[in-house]
Structure 1
Amino acid sequence: MDLFAGCGGITLGFVTAGFELVASVESDPWAAESHGANFAAVSRGTNREAYHKAYDITRETPASVFRDLGISGPVDEQVDVLVGGPPCQAFARVGRAKLRHEAYRRDEDDADIAFLVDGRVNLWQRYLHYVRETKPLALLMENVPDILNHGGRNVAETVSEHLRREGYRVRYTLLNASWFGVPQTRERMFLIGVHEDLDEDVVFPSPTHFSVLPIGYEGTRATARKLINATHGDIEHSHCLISDPSEKDDLPKATTVENAFADLPPIHALDLLKSGKIARGRKDPSEPMRYTSAMPTSAWSRLMREWPLFAASDYSTGHVIRYLPRDYKIFHLMEEGWQYPEVWRFVEEKRRQLIEQRWASGEAKDDDEMQAFIKEWTLPYDPGKFPNKWWKLRRDKPSRTLMAHLGKDSYSHIHYDSEQARTISVREAARLQSFPDGFVLRGSMNPAFKQIGNAVPPLVAYTIAMTMRPIIGCRPMPDICRELLAEDSQSLPATEGSGEKCVS
């Protein structure tokens, strides 16, 4: 059962690892619709239409959800594994700043601590309620690393203590998606609980890839290490485990953005703008897209095109981009890896040069025309306040974290190819998050971006699910990563895999 399910990142990972979806709970209508579109047909309940429905977890109980889905029998006998990631906006540092800003705008007395009193902070308690009701054999919770220090409080440790009292052995850690083949340096806290009746230890998956994390990631990892040191390294009295890969492990290098985008056709934004083929308005993620090659040309594109149960044929969907007429020309001039302060300085100097050229050549005819030209070459944000507002991908490295605000803008992920001069498409964002090409997203472009940014990378969820299988007594099954991610293997036909089904 998947709580706070979104469009289904965790569900996809567990279904691919042989688990059967019992139920999902998600309040966002478009995300719930996407979840149902992808998983209703392979779910346990008899009322398939109900799998597309949005549920408010603060009002619904497991019993009411099961009843709606057509699942009968005792509530505490339906679920073997409970999974979910309570909303992270109040925990994440970026989210905290936004909450404070909105609280100040409303002139609230507690604006300074808005992130502490936000209602979503305590949604983990609803997760615990579902644990008590369904009594799963094992559970998985995901959240941002800042949950380890929320206003001086380690919420992950609080959750662990509550679960321990419910009879679970619990551990949590920080895992980086790039360590498991995902072309993105997404860092998240994962907590696993195993019921003590199983007499099994909590095990986290071992990294399959290595990447040097960018500056800024060490802070949260240092905080986690302090949690262990505070218990003098006594593993029996610390719920936190940290084990990072190193170059000495001789692991394959992390998947790069260039590998991730293999086989996706180019979109030349400046040409589209000049010809009038791109305009403001709704973009449809269901719009079909044909590949540039009949067969996958990288290990990652092979995985994306041949993912079991979600294999794409000769085309995919969602290769649509934002209409940004002012900025395509700036994207064209940016260098890989540039962030907003560098772009701002470049544009300021470029504007000065262009104005001098226009005056010298006599092109500046009147003040209105000059003001319009200046506006076209002026960026609106303070580079001191918004250092991460823009970022141009580096083709030879994993992407940085995809965020939910991709639903409002995608300047944080500008395509590395200057000839295309644009931000990433919905399908490119999905690939960076490890959603296969056969996975469909409901709603327009903005909801689709938001669903992707909010999700747990399916490949990370899959790796965790494969690690949890033997803990709850499931037989071994083939690993899709061994079959589809091996660089030297031949392209394989999509298979559903074999092995004993588990109930998630």
Structure 2
Amino acid sequence: MPKNFAIVDLFAGPGGLGEGFSRAGRISDSQMKIQLSVEMDDHAVQTLRLRAFLRTFDEFPDEYYAALKAGKGMPDWQSLFPAQWKHAEDEVRQHVLGADGVFDELAFELDHARESRHGDTILIGGPPCQAYSLAGRSRNKGKADYVLEHDARHYLYREYVRILERLRPAAFVMENVKGMLSSKVDGGGIFHRVLDDLEAAGDGYRLLPLASPIPADGSRANARNFLIRAEDHGVPQARHRVIILGIRTDLAGNLPAGLTLLGGPQPSVTVDEAICGLWSLRSGLSRKDEADVWQETVREQAKRIAASEVVPDEVRAIAQAIVMANDLPQLRQSGWRGETTGMPEHLRAWFQDPKLKINLHHDTRGHIPDDLGRYMFSAAWTRVFGRAPKLTQFPAFLQPEHRNRASGAFADRFRTQAADRPSTTVTSHISKDGHYFIHPDPKQCRSLTVREAARLQTFPDNYFFCGPRTKQYHQVGNAVPPYLAYQIGKALLGLIG
């Protein structure tokens, strides 16, 4: 008999895991629906609440598309659809997990979910990863008063385990950064402690890898087998994350040994394939932000690059073509184009919404004139050589005025996303300056828009991120790719549905 599972989503961010699991739950005889999402960030909570509201409809209401087209903010949903908005408010809770009193406040909700569903619940989420990430560990080394064992973020996974103990779900999925595999605290590796704690929680769980065969002898998989390469699973991004699937022991007796739950690697999806159909845009200028001024600035930068004897001939040729071009972009914010003929079918079906007639969040940042030249040079170099240039390969007139530029610590400061392969990992750093996320077209001289980053993360095109643009970037960078989550959700239902 088909089951109906309630999902509890912890550390939910803008809802990447929840979006994927919700969509997987709508295509199976067994259903999955989010009952509770918990997140601390104000703007991510707004995003979650709006999406939870929209999911209460079989088709999103016309008022949503009208609001998107008008671009003047959302209507008062509580007045228009009070029952649906109340459902969304009940589903999404703003809490700082691990803070005093929060667990006690959630305990009633967890008990109700477990008892009303007779154990048919699923726990998902990814505890914050700054303490485990390689970048975070590098930053921490530079802090004179940093003590590893005193960093509470190392132990936030225990709050996940604590909720797992209380909820005792049929299954759970926990996501974290690759750095968790090598992170150490109190003289030992953290990852094996995490696995031990998850395995022993509640009624006990069998921990399964997703991209490697299930061990035939019932043993725990090798630690590195919990690593998922998103680019192997239809996501246009080289995002490597630890994802642990746990099945409650009373349900794990007849698991198919030797089965790889996510199947074999899929063909790679490139940046160009992922962002096709989005309008070409110019960046902004920090001063005198007008199209003709921008174009003149771009041509002046191109002339300098084309005339430089230290720049490779192929890069100089691209710059010279930009000097002569009569088709430089003029718009900073997209019109509607929408053609996706170059996109793989699985993503076309995933992204598109026939009722959506506007590109959401597809507007550009402003940049200083020298950054236009740096972005143009980096994009042209990447087109020629298939990789972004190191800072030492930039001509002197494009070198940034940084005291420590010669230290080597910022060798990759300007990184273009190559058009013909998956992007590098989209992280929350994209909210800061965009230097690591340069658009592959040398004519556009800009960083990626929020929508382009969201495409690389596989958020559907009708997914609206609340808050100012910086916060939108931050939400996108912190998310789990929804299309990857969708595949995990389908695989999970195949085991326990």
The correspondence for 1:4, drawn from 11, 14, 18, is 11
Structure 2 portions without partners, runs of 5+: 1-7, 26-31, 57-83, 210-225, 295-331
CA distance in 1, matches of 2:245, 2:148: 25
Give the match for residue 143 of structure 1: 176
Deviation at 1:412, TM superposition (A): 0.7
Deviation at 1:344, TM superposition (A): 4.1
1:330 aligns with 2:374: yes
Give the match for residue 55 of structure 1: 95
The correspondence for 1:201, drawn from 227, 245, 255, is 255
Give the match for residue 462 of structure 1: 486
Give the match for residue 136 of structure 2: 95
Say which is worse superposed, 65-74 or 176-185, in terms of deviation.
65-74
Contact 1:46 1:70 in 2 (8 A): no
The correspondence for 2:363, drawn from 298, 320, 327, is 320
Measured against aligned partners, the alpha-carbon deviations of 1:388-409 in whole angstroms (never above 9, x if no partner) come to 3221111111101111111212
Measured against aligned partners, the alpha-carbon deviations of 1:322-370 in whole angstroms (never above 9, x if no partner) come to 2111301221122115546x3443231x46xxxxxxxxxxxxxxxxxxx
Partner AA of 2:50 in structure 1: A
CA distance in 2, matches of 1:400, 1:130: 33
Output the aligned Cα RMSD: 3.2
Partner AA of 1:91 in structure 2: Y
Question: So what's the TM-score if we normalise by structure 1?
Answer: 0.69
1:388 aligns with 2:421: no
1:257 aligns with 2:280: no
CA distance in 2, matches of 1:194, 1:343: 48
Structure 1 residues 406 and 200 mapped into 2: Cα distance closer, same or farther (>3 Å)?
A: farther
Measured against aligned partners, the alpha-carbon deviations of 1:404-434 in whole angstroms (never above 9, x if no partner) come to 1112121111011000011111000000111
CA distance in 1, matches of 2:482, 2:173: 14
Contact 2:13 2:44 in 1 (8 A): yes
The correspondence for 1:403, drawn from 405, 420, 427, is 427
The correspondence for 1:442, drawn from 466, 485, 495, is 466
CA distance in 1, matches of 2:126, 2:17: 9
Measured against aligned partners, the alpha-carbon deviations of 1:235-271 in whole angstroms (never above 9, x if no partner) come to xxxxxxxxxxxxxxxx53x000010110000112279
Report the 3-state secondary structure (helix = DSSP H, G, I; strand = E; otherwise coil) of the residue aligned with 1:32: helix
Give the match for residue 29 of structure 1: 42
Give the match for residue 208 of structure 2: 171
Report the 3-state secondary structure (helix = DSSP H, G, I; strand = E; otherwise coil) of the residue aligned with 1:143: strand
Structure 1 residues 45 and 324 mapped into 2: Cα distance closer, same or farther (>3 Å)?
A: closer
Give the match for residue 303 of structure 1: 347
1:346 aligns with 2:399: no
Alignment of 1:67-146 (within 5 A): 74=115, 77=118, 80-101=121-142, 103-104=143-144, 108=145, 111=146, 114-146=147-179
Structure 1 residues 378 and 73 mapped into 2: Cα distance closer, same or farther (>3 Å)?
A: closer
CA distance in 2, matches of 1:323, 1:123: 37
Partner AA of 1:455 in structure 2: A
Give the match for residue 51 of structure 2: 38
Give the match for residue 192 of structure 1: 245
Question: So what's the TM-score if we normalise by structure 2?
Answer: 0.70
Report the 3-state secondary structure (helix = DSSP H, G, I; strand = E; otherwise coil) of the residue aligned with 2:156: helix
CA distance in 2, matches of 1:273, 1:205: 53
1:269 aligns with 2:325: no
Contact 1:296 1:305 in 2 (8 A): no
Deviation at 1:144, TM superposition (A): 0.9
Deviation at 1:451, TM superposition (A): 0.8
Contact 2:279 2:336 in 1 (8 A): yes
Give the match for residue 290 of structure 1: 335
Structure 1 portions without partners, runs of 5+: 210-250, 280-286, 352-375, 474-504
Say which is worse superposed, 462-471 or 331-340, in terms of deviation.
331-340
Report the 3-state secondary structure (helix = DSSP H, G, I; strand = E; otherwise coil) of the residue aligned with 1:415: coil
Which structure is richer in relative contact order (CA contacts within 8 A, separation 6 or more)? 1
Contact 1:265 1:290 in 2 (8 A): yes
CA distance in 1, matches of 2:112, 2:53: 13
Structure 1 residues 258 and 380 mapped into 2: Cα distance closer, same or farther (>3 Å)?
A: farther
Deviation at 1:29, TM superposition (A): 1.1
Deviation at 1:165, TM superposition (A): 2.3
Report the 3-state secondary structure (helix = DSSP H, G, I; strand = E; otherwise coil) of the residue aligned with 1:290: coil
Measured against aligned partners, the alpha-carbon deviations of 1:416-469 in whole angstroms (never above 9, x if no partner) come to 100001111100000011111111101111111111111111111111111100
Measured against aligned partners, the alpha-carbon deviations of 1:187-224 in whole angstroms (never above 9, x if no partner) come to 00111110111124386533554xxxxxxxxxxxxxxx
CA distance in 2, matches of 1:73, 1:467: 22
CA distance in 2, matches of 1:405, 1:185: 16
Structure 1 residues 275 and 48 mapped into 2: Cα distance closer, same or farther (>3 Å)?
A: closer
Contact 2:388 2:416 in 1 (8 A): yes
Partner AA of 1:265 in structure 2: W
Deviation at 1:61, TM superposition (A): 5.1
Contact 2:131 2:137 in 1 (8 A): yes
Contact 1:311 1:436 in 2 (8 A): no
Deviation at 1:72, TM superposition (A): 7.4
Report the 3-state secondary structure (helix = DSSP H, G, I; strand = E; otherwise coil) of the residue aligned with 2:405: coil
Partner AA of 2:139 in structure 1: K
The count of corresponding residues between Structure 1 and Structure 2 is 388
Give the match for residue 218 of structure 2: none
Structure 1 residues 316 and 176 mapped into 2: Cα distance closer, same or farther (>3 Å)?
A: same
The correspondence for 1:426, drawn from 443, 447, 450, is 450
Deviation at 1:73, TM superposition (A): 7.9
Structure 1 residues 148 and 74 mapped into 2: Cα distance closer, same or farther (>3 Å)?
A: same
CA distance in 2, matches of 1:322, 1:54: 30
Report the 3-state secondary structure (helix = DSSP H, G, I; strand = E; otherwise coil) of the residue aligned with 1:175: strand
CA distance in 2, matches of 1:49, 1:270: 37
Structure 1 residues 70 and 410 mapped into 2: Cα distance closer, same or farther (>3 Å)?
A: farther
Structure 1 residues 47 and 418 mapped into 2: Cα distance closer, same or farther (>3 Å)?
A: same
